[in-house]
Amino acid sequence: MPPRRNADTGGPQGTPPTPTPGPRAVGAGVLAAIEDAAASLRGRDLRGEELARAVAEVSARYTRAREELTEGSTSQDALCARLRFFLPRDLPKIEAPLAELARAGAWTAKPTLRVLDLGSGLGATALGAARYALRAGLAERVEVTAVDRDRRALELGETLAQAIARREALALGWSTRAEALSASSAAGEAPDLILLGFVLNELAEGVSEDDALERQRELLQALVGRLPEGGALIALEPALRPHSRRLSRLRDRLIADAGPAHVFAPCLHRGPCPMLERERDWCHESLPLALPEPVAAIAREAGLREAHLTYSYLTLTRAPGSLAALAADRAGYRVVSQPLRSKGKVELLICTDGPLRSLRRLDRHRSAHNRVVEDLGRGSVVAVQGAQPRGPRLEVLQDTDIEVLQTVAPDDEATPPM
């Protein structure tokens, strides 16, 4: 049997895959624009140890109560930390969900892409979406409406967006609106893409888990209802277990609804989320990207990671469809772990709506048809033919055919910035 071809790279199936085309760490243009925007910080542009302390403090708040984060993230020091560290770190995270939409044929090129960024902050999510759409040829121009209750963050974000557009010669328009997140935030807008970057969890403040889920469900259904037929909504959330598991429960509720929102990703199936079966599990992503050195230096001093950008996400579309389109009529699986290597075998956890929970290949069965198992990271999507189910495992045999439909490299292969 001839080897299958890798759908992501076009190379032979047995060739080690490359990272998914699209997500890139920020480069010189964004870093220069950050320097331009920092001039508006009015004397509190922190450097060195002061900046590292501010970054560490903001990072600590991200793991605590949301109200504490809101109270502490609008100070001048915190704004500087967000601009110089968190923005360049978080900016690429939106690119992988957008790439999935395009790869599955659910996103078509538009002369002008209209983006509504709710809870925009400094605009990291919208800037990442705009840069990706323009780079990937999905739009000739991007118009962003940034909505947030923090006027100072909106002003700084607009200054930064203008600087990036100038530095990178982007056809990018940017307007702002100061208001709190609500279903009416999309009133009067005609967006093709709605973004909620690390803000959906605000609706969980001070209420029970069930009430939080209901608030989030109602908001997302209302927002998707304002999208055109080909529109999409992407919500990014922290990769922390409580936020990620809540997002999975929200996904299950949205699937149970009659619409208008249709769950496109991350799942390839419409069954209950299998990651909710055990309290210790949660579904999240890890982009194998290394931070550019100026940002990595801040991370080291603040005691934070220098690579592997983590987040959870949910992609909703107005039209029916899902990432399962990548597999067509074949058995497709999303990888939800890094390779788990032990003596004599390598194993990957997979997401399915049946009893299967892992893909395992014994070393003695290694062949040109299946060696890509070793090179797949969390978020990869594969089609598998000729494997043998054994309880919760799908056993990869010597002649098992694995086609890579979407590639994300393992965490030990972080890609440096361009």
Q: Record the pTM.
A: 0.91
Residues 351 and 245 in one domain: no
What span, in angstroms and rounded, lies between the C-alpha atoms of 35 and 47?
A: 12
Q: Write the pLDDT tens digit of every residue in 171-195.
A: 999 999 999 999 888 888 889 999 9
Candidate from 69-73, 181-185, 294-298, 319-323 with smallest mean pLDDT: 69-73
| 286 domain-assigned | yes
Residue at 398 is within a domain: yes
- Give the amino acid at 162: Q
The answer to whether residues 337 and 308 belong to one domain is: no
pLDDT, residue 412, reads 58
Contact between residue 359 and residue 396 where contact means Cβ atoms under 8 Å apart: yes
Q: Indicate if 267 and 353 belong to the same structural domain.
A: no
- Using pLDDT thresholds of 50, 70 and 90, give the confidence band for residue 382: very high
For residue 231, the model assigns a pLDDT of 96
Q: What is the pLDDT of residue 22?
A: 55
Stretch 149-166: mean pLDDT: 97
- Do residue 296 and residue 333 come from a single domain? no
Asked, for residue 13, whether it belongs to a domain, the answer is no
Is a pLDDT exceeding 90 seen at residue 78?
Answer: yes
Q: Exposure string (b/e) for 42-70, b if CB count within 10 Å is 16 or more?
A: eeebbeeeebbebbbbbbebeeeebeebe
Q: Are residues 254 and 369 located together in one domain of the fold?
A: no
- Residue 319 CB contacts under 8 Å (≥ 6 apart), including other chains: 106, 229, 230, 262
pLDDT in tens, 390-404: 999 999 999 999 999
Residue 161 lies in a domain: yes
Q: What is the mean pLDDT of the chain?
A: 89
Q: How many helices (H) and strands (E) does the chain have?
A: 11, 16
Question: What pLDDT, on the 0 to 100 scale, is given for residue 206?
Answer: 87
Amino acid at 5: R
Q: Give the β-pairing of 332-335 and 381-385.
A: antiparallel
The amino acid at residue 393 is: R
Percent of the chain with pLDDT over 90: 76
Closest CA to 254 of 222, 285, 278: 222
- 15 inside domain: no
Q: Is the pLDDT of residue 411 over 80?
A: no
- Rounded CA-CA distance 9/344 in Å is 29
Confidence of residue 14 (pLDDT cuts 50, 70, 90): very low
Is the pLDDT score of 70 beyond 90? no
Residue 256 and residue 206 in one domain: yes
Residue 357 CB-half CA count within 13 A = 10
Q: Is residue 60 part of a domain?
A: yes
Regarding whether 368 and 260 lie in a shared domain, the answer is no
Q: Return all residues near 123 (Cβ < 8 A) that are at least 6 apart.
A: 87, 117, 144, 146, 157, 158, 160, 161, 174
Secondary structure letter of residue 316 according to DSSP = E
**Separation of alpha carbons 74 and 151, rounded Å:** 10
Domain with residue 315: its CATH number is 3.40.50.150
Q: Provide the pLDDT for residue 308.
A: 85
Within-domain flag for 6: no
Nearest CA among 101, 96, 93, 405 for reference residue 262 = 101
3-state secondary structure of 264: strand
Neighbours of 183 (CB within 10 A): 15
Cα 159 to chain centroid, rounded = 25
Query: What is the domain range of residue 43?
Result: 28-319
pLDDT per position as a tens digit, 20-37: 345 788 999 999 999 999
Q: What is the pLDDT of residue 42?
A: 74
| Cis amide bond preceding 355, omega within 30 | no
Angle in degrees, 0-180, between the axes of helices 151-168 and 124-135, rounded to the nearest 10: 20
DSSP letters spanning 126-156: HHHHHHHHHHTTSEEEEEEEEEES-HHHHHH
Give the end of a domain, one of 296, 319, 342: 319
Q: How far apart (Å, rounded) are the C-alpha atoms in residues 379 and 381?
A: 6
8 A C-beta contact, residue 313 and residue 244: no
- In single-letter form, the type of residue at position 207 comes to V
User: For the chain, what is the domain count?
Assistant: 2
For residue 220, is pLDDT > 80?
yes
Residue 289: is its pLDDT beyond 50? yes
pLDDT at 259 over 90: no
**One domain, residues 123 and 266:** yes
Task: Give the per-residue SS3 of 349-391.
Answer: EEECCCCCCEEEEEHHHCCCCCHHHHHCCCCCEEEEECCEEEC
Average pLDDT over residues 409-417: 60
Of 319, 337, 360, at which residue does a domain stop? 319
For residues 92-121, give the mean pLDDT.
94
Residue 315 lies in a domain: yes
Answer whether the bond into residue 266 is a cis peptide, omega within 30°: yes
Residue 46, pLDDT above cutoff 60: yes
Do 305 and 386 fall into the same domain?
no
Does residue 413 register a pLDDT over 90? no
Last residue in a domain, options 294, 319, 344: 319
Give every CB contact of residue 248 below 8 A, 6+ residues apart in sequence.
273, 275, 276, 282, 283
Q: How far apart are CA 114 and CA 266, in angstroms?
A: 23
Looking at the structure, tell me whether residues 174 and 61 fall in a common domain: yes
Q: What's the whole-number mean pLDDT along residues 200-221?
A: 93
240 lies in the same domain as 360: no
pLDDT for the residue numbered 128:
97
Domain containing 367 — which CATH number? 2.40.50.1010
162 and 101 in a common domain: yes
